[in-house]
Structure 1
Amino acid sequence: MKDVIGKIVEKNLIDDDQPSLDVFDLDYFDKRVESLFKAFPEDFFTHALSIKANPFRCLLKQVLKHGMGAECASFQEAIHAKNLGFSPAKIVYDSPVKTRKEMFEAIKLGFYMNLDNELEIQQVGEYLATYSGPVPAIGLRINPVVGAGADLMVSTATKQSKFGLPLLEDTREKIIKYFEDNKWLTALHIHVGSQGIPLDMFVKGVEVMHKFVSELESRVPGQVKTIDIGGGLSTSYTDSQEPKAFTYQTYRDKLQEKIPELFSGKYEIVTEFGRSLLLKAGTSLTKIQSVKNWVLGQKPILMTHLGTNQFPIEVYCPQVRKHRFSIYSADGKKKEGEEIMVDIGGPLCFQGDYLAKEVELSNPEPEDILVVHDTGAYTMSMYCRYNSILAGGVYGYRRQDGIVELECFKKRETIEECMAFWGQEQSQLV
């Protein structure tokens, strides 16, 4: 990272005009994608990157070059993927809350769509009764009810999950009936969660799903053609390396051990990885604007430009989301030596806006550069508008012959772009 910081300082990319920014390691991302394809090389697998984790156009163009698909949590994300050139059949439209118009448009555009509930099934069935065009893959999301991981916010396979239809003994027959009554339902989808979920729970979810597919085969033989096993493999926020227990090859080996039929080629298989591909490729930087050290016996407070505006989960749930930090001087040199314990305050106007507390850093001073590691997923994509703080620029980088080459993914937001969110200057009668 030292050479990247040096290049950023050399190019004057972090200053009063742009006090925070994000960088993304394209070489690292390529290696992560290569490890995924090496573990799951079969041509009946479609690996769809979860756009919600990091929706920047320049990054998604790299995803497209790898031949991946795009998993979309909203209709807007699906259109975003289409406009970037993703094949409609590789656009996985997964929103848990869809309007009729969105669902009908998705069908006409040829997106693979996973329905969430019985009302969506009814609405799509009514539309298809009068629709004469080709029908793409349409699936139903079921909840395998295999339990929760360490982080309840991203655990989606408990009985109280808001996603999909829970597959229980008293609901099983009803779900089968949906497939019997709607021959256009040709896919099945699960997603048990992401960070903090044990690997065996992912495997158990797929195992439950596959057993249910076998039941469907006995009732509606040949109807199910696509199995979407979701994504969500955990990574690490506290270690510099990816956890060995969660490699894609380990996941493949466990799936093959428990569900060898999954690899027979009978079904098209879809995966939806995001965080595990992206997280460690990203890094966020912010100027330390000031250091408050007035109260004897209290930790100094670093005042920075990053907080809830870009890290809402880290601020509100610090017990489940903590990053690694390092510190560089304004001229780009890493600071070493004796460390002190500090709290890191963000720019938003409420007392709870702390990026982190009790962080050890070497002699932090105003104008230093605070580096937040492992921010390539679910940070900038969660940017909020409170206080109208301008979103910083985003840059990709590669190393060519050992030299860092930066490319701009997104310029820093302008005041005009930010204010456009708050509507027009003059109201209009409607």
Structure 2
Amino acid sequence: MSLPTETTTRTTSRTTTTTAATAPASTPAAGPTAKAAGIAAAVRQAVADGLLGADRPLAGFVDVQGVRDSVDGLHEAFGEVPDVLHTFAAKACALVPVLRLLADAGMGCEVASPGELRLALDAGFPPARIVLDSPAKTREEIREALALGVALNADNLAELDRIDELRPTGSASVVGLRVNPQVGAGAIGAMSTATAHSKFGVALRDPGARERVVEAFVRRPWLTRLHAHVGSQGCPLPLIARGLATLHRLAEEIDDRVGHRRITSLDLGGGLPVNFADDCVTPTYAAYVAALTAAEPALLDGRYRLVTEFGRSLLAKNGFLAARVEYVKDAGGRRVAVTHAGAQVATRTVFMPEAWPVRVSAYGPDGTPKEGPVLPHDVAGPLCFAGDVVAHERPLPELAEGDWVVLHDTGAYYFSAPWAYNSLPRPGVYGCLRQEDGGGVAFATVRTPQTVREISVESGLAHADALLESSA
């Protein structure tokens, strides 16, 4: 089987627990063509099954076994840690069937809004395995979490005052406080949450802040968790580890001040950056564990229960988007392929292309990998603004109307977080199920394609005359 341009090897996040000295920087490839062949088989079958076609020009796909393999790799990497709850950051793929798959694989869930909390509960996560993080929780949101027994991390000291008022006696909720270790930014400022002026958490290095944090714990016996988040994409492991090591030192200080054990758990918020350049999984979860151990050897010794909040690193490489090429033209000496995948699904890629590049590969109308002379293409989207381009001057076999392009590593934040500009319908999303007998790929519907009628209903159709009546 020939392979599409820019598709390389397949790998998963499966790793083994290693020491700081031996942790690999990346996961070895499972085979030279396994991932490319799997995607090609899925695209070809999706076209044959009608999931992709002229009337369905865009769809997202999730590799179900790949997700399970990534979760297994996470658990294996932390295999020597005595007590850890791994939660999935719902924002990375806010689709109930995907969340239910993760719950079945042994994950908890981190949520950051009432909507995400509802999705987590509907997906089957027990409240005790859900953590609520948000910088703007209302009193009602706090009240609901405390009533359900959902863990929550207060973003600031004022929020602790609200919890003082609302917390019922005997609440089962674990309550923590988010601190900002202020260790600096990674390569993407907007994705860095431990800068001097970050909107998140209590700025720990500001004058008097550390003492106020310690006093907050001294005065509240029910406040037992510390939480920090440095960032993920664009943040190197040493920076992440340095920020999270701060939690352990602060916990020891709080326990010393209280005079007995007060802190019972540390929430290591945030996740890992993802390599979008090729199929290699780097950094691995084992490398993350090694970096934490190097920054603070006692962090993983079991004194404190750990909570993790991985999202992108579990899903990104286990999903892809396939989009139909509608037109091809030349402009200013460039070949432009106008497709149905633009900023409505690849918002970050379109607006921050240097920070969020995606790989693109080409397939023919029947879903088989495209061959032929390679030309530089601009791969554009369908939205009505000039910047709606997902890739510039990419070398691809010459594209034509009816071909397909695949955007790789888009399982997190792409098809599950659409932008409603131009009122384009949200694409269908399908789980790819590998057949044991080698019989190809079967699909499970994760989300049905949105219809234009549903867009109209969502946009106020039931109240179409409301403004006319009010002005009569």
TM-score by structure 1 length?
Answer: 0.95
| Correspondence for 1:59 among 83, 93, 98 | 98
Q: How far is the alpha carbon of 1:253 from its aligned partner?
A: 2.2
- C-alpha contact (below 8 Å) 1:395/1:408 kept by paired residues: yes
Alignment of 1:20-419 (within 5 A): 20-41=58-79, 42=81, 44-128=83-167, 131-168=168-205, 170=207, 171-220=209-258, 221-243=260-282, 246-293=283-330, 295=331, 297-400=332-435, 401-402=437-438, 403-419=440-456
Displacement after TM superposition at 1:416 (Å):
2.4
Supply the AA of the counterpart residue of 1:176: V
SS of the aligned residue for 1:380 comes to coil
Contact 1:21 1:394 in 2 (8 A): yes
The answer to whether the Cα contact below 8 Å between 1:73 and 1:94 also exists between their aligned partners in 2 is yes
Q: 1:413 to 1:43 in 2, by over 3 A?
A: farther
| Distance (whole Å) between structure 2 residues aligned to residue 209 and residue 150 of structure 1 | 23
The reply to whether residue 16 of structure 1 matches residue 51 of structure 2 is no
Task: Report the residue type matching 1:61 in the other structure.
Answer: R
Distance 1:218 1:67 in 2: 35
Q: CA deviation at 1:199?
A: 0.7
Displacement of 1:337 after TM fit?
Answer: 2.8
CA distance in structure 1 between the aligned counterparts of 2:405 and 2:309, rounded to whole angstroms: 32
Distance in 2 of aligned mates of 1:421 and 1:177: 48
CA contact (8 A) 1:49 1:274 kept: yes
CA distance in 2, matches of 1:200, 1:54: 27
Q: Distance in 2 between matches of 1:2 and 1:30?
A: 21
Instruction: Specify the code of the residue in structure 2 equivalent to 1:231.
Output: G
Q: CA deviation at 1:255?
A: 2.0
AA paired with 2:254?
L
Once residues 419 and 119 of structure 1 are traced to their aligned partners in structure 2, the CA distance between those partners, rounded to angstroms, is: 41
Sequence identity of aligned pairs in percent? Answer: 38
- Cα offset, 1:133, TM superposition: 4.3
Q: Distance in 2 between matches of 1:43 and 1:285?
A: 42
Q: Secondary structure at the match of 1:156?
A: coil
Q: Which runs of 5+ in 1 are unaligned?
A: none
TM-score normalised by length of structure 2: 0.87
Q: In 2, Cα distance between the equivalents of 1:320 and 1:228?
A: 27
| One-letter amino acid matched to 1:326 | S
Q: Alpha-carbon deviation of 1:283?
A: 0.6
Give the whole-Å Cα distance in 2 for the aligned partners of 1:80 and 1:56: 8
Amino acid in the other structure paired with 2:256: S
Which residue identity lines up with residue 15 of structure 1 in the other structure? G
Q: Is the 8 A contact 1:142 1:165 kept in 2?
A: yes
**Whole-angstrom CA distance in 2 between matches of 1:135 and 1:195:** 34
Match of 2:10 in 1: none
Select between 131-140 and 254-263 the one with higher mean Cα deviation: 254-263
State the SS of the aligned residue for 1:413. coil
Query: Which residue type is aligned with residue 156 of structure 1?
Result: T
Structure 1 residues 121 and 367: alpha-carbon distance in aligned structure 2, compared to 1, 3 A threshold: same
Q: Is the 8 A contact 1:137 1:226 kept in 2?
A: no
| Mapped partners of 1:59, 1:80: distance in 2 | 10
In structure 1, the residue matched to 2:18 is none
Deviations 1:66-90 (A, max 9, x none): 1210010112211211122111111
Equivalent-residue separation in structure 2 for 1:390 and 1:30 (angstroms):
29
Partner amino acid, structure 1, of 2:162 = Q
The 3-state SS of whatever aligns with 2:416 is helix
Contact 1:54 1:376 in 2 (8 A): yes
How many pairs were matched up?
424
Task: State the match for 2:459 in structure 1.
Answer: 422
Cα contact 1:108–1:133 (8 A) shared by 2: no
Distance in 1 between residues matched to 2:399 and 2:244, nearest whole Å: 48
AA paired with 1:406?
F
Give the whole-Å Cα distance in 1 for the aligned partners of 2:256 and 2:170. 29
- The 2-side partners of 1:46 and 1:313 are apart by 30
Deviation of residue 426 (structure 1)?
3.8
Distance, in Å, in 1 between the alignment partners of 2:145 and 2:389 is 41
Measure the CA separation in 1 of the matches of 2:197 and 2:366: 52
Over 3 Å counting, the alpha-carbon distance change for 1:181 and 1:426 in structure 2 is farther
How many Å separate the matches in 2 of 1:263 and 1:398? 36
1:210-256, Cα deviation, whole Å (9 max, x unpaired): 1111111111232211210113211111112212xx11112112323
- SS of structure 1 residue aligned to 2:310: coil
| Structure 1 position 319, deviation (Å) | 1.3
Residues 377 and 396, structure 2, Cα contact 8 Å, conserved in 1: yes
| RMSD, aligned α-carbons | 1.6
Q: Which amino acid aligns with 2:319?
A: G
Residues 122, 8 of structure 1: alpha-carbon distance in 2 compared, 3 angstrom cutoff: same
CA deviations 1:170-226 (Å, max 9, x no partner) are 211111111122222111101100111101111111211111111111112322112
> Is the 8 Å Cα contact of residues 75 and 95 (structure 1) preserved in structure 2?
no
The Cα shift of 1:260 comes to 2.9
Any unmatched runs of 5+ in structure 2? 1-38
CA distance in 2, matches of 1:309, 1:211: 43
Amino acid at match of 2:144: E
Deviation at 1:132, TM superposition (A): 3.1
